[in-house]
Amino acid sequence: MADDRDREGTEIAVAEFHKKIKDAFEVFDHESNNTVDVREIGTIIRSLGCCPSEGELHDLIAEVEEEEPTGYIRFEKFLPVMTEVLLERRYRPIPEDTLHRAFEVLDPAKRGFLSKEELIKHMTGEGEPFSQEEMEEMLSAAIDPESNSIHYKDYITMMVIDEN
């Protein structure tokens, strides 16, 4: 009995996920032929609530690509993979305090801020480096022009409010 209810619950969840995934996919399906450019897959996956790293994203793309990559991802392949991701709650978003601690790691002196140069060094030199465009965009919003630094606690708060 419990199993049946569980299964039913999962079925409903799956149906919901399917619709969500379809909606997000369609936004980028410019030719209305159930394909999207592979370069948009990251945006789609992330807007569905997931927060994969670039590496994880590449793995996902490999799963949904054709044997001979065409530059396009088909919905038929994307749907089951993405549904699994959502069901398994993979690539969960990062909680605020975890994010804060990450910034603190880069700010060992615990000043509460990072200088512009430090931020650039870390974001473009380490991890999964930002492109120049990404870096510029982050700087434009994050840097306090007077001190030329990013007060990360405030920055995080602002971005989180923005999202909602």
Q: Which residues contribute to the site for other proteins (CB under 8 A)?
A: 15-16, 19-20, 23-24, 26-28, 30-33, 42-47, 50-54, 93-94, 98-99, 101-103, 105-106, 108, 122-123, 126-130, 134, 137-138, 140-141, 159, 162-164
**CB of residue 23 to other proteins, shortest distance in Å:** 4
Name the residue nearer to other proteins (CB basis): 67 or 126: 126
| Nearest-angstrom CA–CA distance, 112 and 104 | 8
Name the residue nearer to other proteins (CB basis): 24 or 67: 24
| Nearest-angstrom CA–CA distance, 152 and 8 | 44
| Nearest-angstrom CA–CA distance, 119 and 101 | 15
Query: 3: number of CA atoms within 13 Å, CB side?
Result: 0
If 0-12 CB within 10 Å is exposed, 13-18 middle and 19+ buried, where does residue 125 land? Answer: exposed
Name the residue nearer to other proteins (CB basis): 68 or 140: 140
**CB of residue 134 to other proteins, shortest distance in Å:** 7
Name the residue nearer to other proteins (CB basis): 24 or 64: 24
